[in-house]
Amino acid sequence: MKKYDVIIIGAGNLGTFHAYHALKAGKKVLMLEKDSEPVEATVRNFGQVVPSGQELDTWFEYGRQSLEIYGELQEKTDISARKNGSYYLASDDDELGLLEEAHLLFQERDYSSTLLNSDTCIEKNPSIKKQYCRGALFFPQELSVEPRLMVHKVRQHLISNLALEYLNNTTVVDCLIKNGICQVVTARGEIFHSEKVAICNGRDFNALFPEIFQNSELVVCKLNMMSTVAIPEVKITGNLLSGLSIRRYDSFKSCPSYLSISTPDEMKIYQDKGIHLLFKQAPDGRIIIGDSHEYAPVSEAAKLDFSIDMSVNELIMDEAKRIIHLPTWQIERYWAGYYSQTSHGGIFEYDINGKIYISTGIGGKGMTTSPGYAKKRISDILI
């Protein structure tokens, strides 16, 4: 009987970095993926690695660790990580005040940031409109990655250099414990054995332990995103995050004046739709724009259908045009992304008899925090 130290179910970002840390600990690891390759939130996101937006002292710290892990991997093989930095653009006095307060909070945590006036910000990113940008907070160490490439590059590195065993198109239909050993059963009737199992199932709540998820506080989120055609004559350096992002992201909720800021009337519809504007330029010149957030409980996730709500995209486009100017706004593609998240903004963890460990619901912070969080989770699993 061939037995592994750890079997990981799910080859998205979270599962892949569980594998990475288990392999680095010298463990024999098998990773199973139900599709030919990951197709959910891992590859449908912006590819912004922004610890600066995370809840301070918790997810921010996981994000900071993730920057180091991405950097270590990039030195070994090209995983598409680029140290472009992140710019938070303030559009009014309230947002500018939050940036000034956040700057001090990050100084206390020895995390480099620089306050920029409007002219300096536009000098670095000439596409930004002066009438929008009152100033910015810049984080030079933050990364951009290409989500449709990154996880595959990391997985291949693990297979080639750390002896990861990987099976795709392999749906797991049961996971149980017999005589102290985990048994993982696939739809083809294969049975794999291991000391421990890590389940990183994203938003797939029906295949394994559905009763656990139906009784949880997990929700599923749908996002609208889009990308322009390639515009190589435009150079957006780094991750651009708008005033709506400042108002939404958890780190800024720690600022002393956060609770006293007002919402302009014209922005209320954006907050109601969960819209905040992000921009990133891909290496081929396309500009990624979004996004929005629509929620449903696990039991009603099917209500988040496959259609693209163009009224939401029109709101996104209207605000995007207020923030930056482009020589063309021709959109090459629209898409929807889906992820699961907890109601408290953390992650859903569930352990079964010290043998089977579920981790899901990391939400929109997966690209930023998965490597750091998975390091901690694997250390708990391997105890």
Place of tokens 């030919």: 36
Strand partners, 6: 29, 196
24-33 exposure pattern, b = at least 16 Cβ within 10 A, e = fewer: eeebbbbbbb
Burial 74-113 (b: 16+ CB within 10 A, else e): beeeebbbeebbbbbbbbeebbbbbbebbeebbeeeebeb
- Regarding the domain delimited by 1-57+143-216+345-383, which CATH topology (the fold level of the hierarchy) does it fall under? FAD/NAD(P)-binding domain (3.50.50)
- In whole angstroms, give the CA distance from residue 287 to residue 268: 26
CA 174 to chain centre: 28
Alpha-carbon distance 326 to 377, whole Å?
43
The answer to whether the Cα torsion of 58, 64, 65, 67 is positive or negative is: positive
Q: Residue 252 has which token pair?
A: 């800024």
Residue 351 Cα distances to 193, 195, 357, 358, 360, angstroms: 18, 14, 5, 6, 12
- Give phi and psi for 241, each to the nearest 5: -125, 135
Which amino acid belongs to residue 189? Answer: G
SS3 content of the chain, % helix, strand, coil (to 5): 35, 25, 35
Give me the half-sphere count of Cα atoms (radius 13 Å) on the Cβ side of residue 271.
13
287: left (phi over 0), alpha (psi -120 to 50) or beta: beta
pLDDT tens track of the chain, all 383 residues? 789 999 999 999 999 999 999 999 999 999 999 999 999 999 999 999 999 999 999 999 999 999 999 999 999 999 999 999 999 999 999 999 999 999 999 999 999 999 999 999 999 999 999 999 999 999 999 999 999 999 999 999 999 999 999 999 999 999 999 999 999 999 999 999 999 999 999 999 999 999 999 989 999 999 999 999 999 999 999 999 999 999 999 999 999 999 999 999 999 999 999 999 999 999 999 999 999 999 999 989 888 988 889 999 999 999 999 999 999 999 999 999 999 999 888 999 999 999 999 999 999 999 999 999 999 999 999 98
Residue boundaries of the structural domains of the chain:
1-57+143-216+345-383
